[in-house]
């Protein structure tokens, strides 16, 4: 499985997981009723970032990770059973 943990991520409420094939992971998890999403835009690629960033510094690692990151369900009402279900489905992904 092409799973990469981003252990240094600072916000415990947002635990990102990166896959080499993000779209396939989103589709497969969705088939199992697990809503996942992606929405990280590197700051240097934002509208404001493009205006103020130095064009020579393209941040290739940031762009690479942003293209593979997904956000898993995480909220206070998520039951232990639902957490286990998400974990099981992630562990069975063959991407």
CATH number of 29's domain: 3.90.1150.10
Query: pLDDT tens digits, residue range 58-90?
Result: 888 888 888 888 888 888 898 999 999 999 998
Q: Give residue 11's domain range.
A: 3-91
Number of domains in the chain: 1
What pLDDT is attached to residue 88?
A: 92
Distance CA(29)–CA(17), nearest Å, equals 13
What pLDDT is attached to residue 11?
A: 47
Distances in Å between the Cα of 66 and the Cα atoms of 19, 32, 85 are 10, 24, 26
pTM strictly above 0.75:
no
Distance CA(25)–CA(16), nearest Å, equals 13
């Amino acid at each position: 499985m092409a799973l990469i943990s981003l252990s240094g991520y600072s916000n415990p409420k947002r635990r990102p997981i990166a896959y080499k094939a993000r779209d396939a992971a989103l589709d497969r998890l969705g088939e199992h009723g697990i809503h996942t999403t992606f929405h990280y835009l590197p700051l240097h690629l934002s509208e404001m970032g493009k205006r103020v960033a130095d064009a020579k510094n393209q941040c290739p690692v940031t762009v690479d990770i942003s293209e593979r990151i997904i956000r898993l369900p995480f909220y206070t009402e998520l039951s232990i059973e639902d957490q286990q279900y998400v974990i099981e489905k992630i562990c069975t992904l063959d991407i």
